[in-house]
């Protein structure tokens, strides 16, 4: 049985490595969703290695702390992966709808309790222990399974509540992914000698990648190629330059839910006169950092010394307004660093949206 589990762990690790390679090298400018998906894969890979190690070093009849520690680590990686997957799931939903900031806290609480069970239960031999040279699961493993099951039900609630923000493929992928740990718990219930948690997790990630993430990576890459073709970047800020901005206007991005933000930096002339060009550069870098933080994933163009335009594609109006509000608060806190106007639409031509946003500056 140990040979079967180790072999399945090795195959799982290979699959996860392939998915990681596709996510890392599929596109240069990775979105928040892709970065979180990579985090999920890394946690799963760590858990797979630990799970395999807990079987490889077994020596029947001998006590060895190594397998026990490895088994504990594999238990710890599961709730860590669950938190990262939840953040990934929320990041996909937030592309179309706003999720309340408190939504992640129950998942963090459940995962923290799972981690505590794994660590404390290993110490007092209630979670995992060694008997006759074999790593055994203790009575607390049932509690860990119950906590994970509650977390899965919680995510199913959000999947149902925000189903209109997802397409059919995304609903099928996320719903199917959450079924895999339930299937694993049933297998373990009927045969406690079999533990295929991480092979099943690897299979679940394959489903997610094939249905969702592979298309997301391809879309990110295509958008980057279209937007940056025959264009350059602004050397001072690293944003797109005026030529890239003109290319974006020509595309006109009709029929896509998007937001446009136009802003002009204030106080540059006064700073140049009083403190010199180095102070101006420092001021620009501060503004650039705020703009990037407030609008992650946006295509930002510097169209003049003081003028910037940010394009946010496939975003809900609630999410866009939330980001704009945060940006406005930071501008006020920094002595009205910039004046700005913003427009949201799912049907108007991009040129008209930019014009309207400029009029609001």
The model's pLDDT over 305-324, given as tens digits with 9 standing for 90+, comes to 889 999 988 888 999 999 99
Residue 1 pLDDT class (50, 70, 90 cuts): very low
Q: What is the mean pLDDT of residues 243-267?
A: 78
Write down the H helix ranges in the chain: 2-25, 32-56, 65-93, 105-123, 141-161, 168-190, 197-208, 214-228, 242-251, 268-275, 277-294, 317-333, 350-359
pLDDT for position 56: 61
- Does residue 102 or residue 171 have the better pLDDT? 102
User: How confident is the prediction for the chain on average, in pLDDT?
Assistant: 78
Residue 54 pLDDT class (50, 70, 90 cuts): low
Q: What is the mean pLDDT of residues 131-143?
A: 71
Buried b (16+ CB within 10 A) or exposed e, 125-155: ebbbbbeeeebebbebbebbbebbeebbeeb
- Reported as a single tens digit per residue, the pLDDT across 284-303 is 888 998 998 899 888 888 88
Domains of the chain are 2-225 (1.20.1070.10), 230-359 (3.30.70.270)
Distance between CA atoms of residues 111 and 165, nearest Å: 26
pLDDT at 110 over 50: yes
Least confident of 171-180, 196-205, 230-239, 323-332: 196-205
Reading the block at residue 258, the tokens are 């998007």
pLDDT for position 255: 47
Distance between CA atoms of residues 66 and 90, nearest Å: 36
Angle at alpha carbon of residue 350, lines to 345 and 355, rounded to 5°: 95
pLDDT at 196 over 60: no
Q: What is the mean pLDDT of residues 100-113?
A: 92
The model's pTM: 0.55
């Amino acid at each position: 049985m140990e040979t079967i589990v180790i072999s399945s762990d090795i195959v799982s690790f290979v699959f996860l490595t392939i998915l990681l390679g596709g996510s890392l090298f599929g596109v240069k400018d990775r979105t928040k969703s892709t970065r979180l998906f990579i985090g999920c894969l890394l946690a799963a890979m760590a858990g797979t290695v630990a799970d395999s190690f807990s079987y490889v070093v077994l020596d029947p009849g001998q006590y060895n702390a190594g397998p026990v520690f490895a088994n504990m680590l594999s238990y710890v990686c599961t709730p860590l992966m669950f938190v990262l997957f939840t953040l990934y799931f929320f990041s996909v939903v937030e592309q179309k709808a706003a999720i309340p900031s408190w939504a992640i806290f129950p998942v963090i609480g459940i995962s923290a309790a799972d981690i505590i069970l794994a660590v404390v239960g290993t110490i007092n031999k209630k979670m995992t222990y060694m008997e006759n040279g074999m790593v055994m699961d203790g009575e607390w493993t049932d509690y860990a399974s119950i906590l994970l099951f509650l977390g899965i039900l919680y995510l199913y609630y959000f999947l149902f509540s925000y189903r209109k923000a997802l397409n059919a493929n995304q609903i099928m992928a996320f719903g199917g992914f959450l079924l895999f740990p339930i299937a694993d718990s049933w297998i373990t219930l009927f045969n406690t000698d079999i533990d295929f948690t991480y092979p099943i997790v690897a299979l679940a990630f394959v489903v997610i990648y094939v249905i969702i993430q592979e298309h997301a990576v391809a879309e990110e890459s295509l958008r980057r190629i279209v937007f940056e073709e025959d264009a350059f970047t602004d050397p001072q800020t690293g944003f797109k330059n005026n030529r890239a901005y003109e290319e974006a206007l020509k595309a006109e991005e009709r029929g896509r839910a998007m937001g446009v933000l136009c802003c002009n930096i204030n106080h540059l002339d006064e700073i140049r006169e009083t403190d010199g060009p180095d102070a101006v550069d420092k001021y620009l870098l501060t503004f650039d950092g705020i703009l990037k933080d407030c609008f992650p994933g946006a295509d930002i163009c510097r169209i003049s010394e003081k003028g910037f335009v940010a394009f946010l594609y496939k975003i809900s109006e609630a999410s866009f307004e939330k980001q704009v509000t945060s940006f406005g608060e930071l501008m006020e806190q920094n002595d009205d660093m910039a004046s700005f106007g913003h427009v949201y639409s799912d049907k108007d031509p991009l040129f008209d949206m930019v014009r309207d946003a400029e009029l609001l500056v």
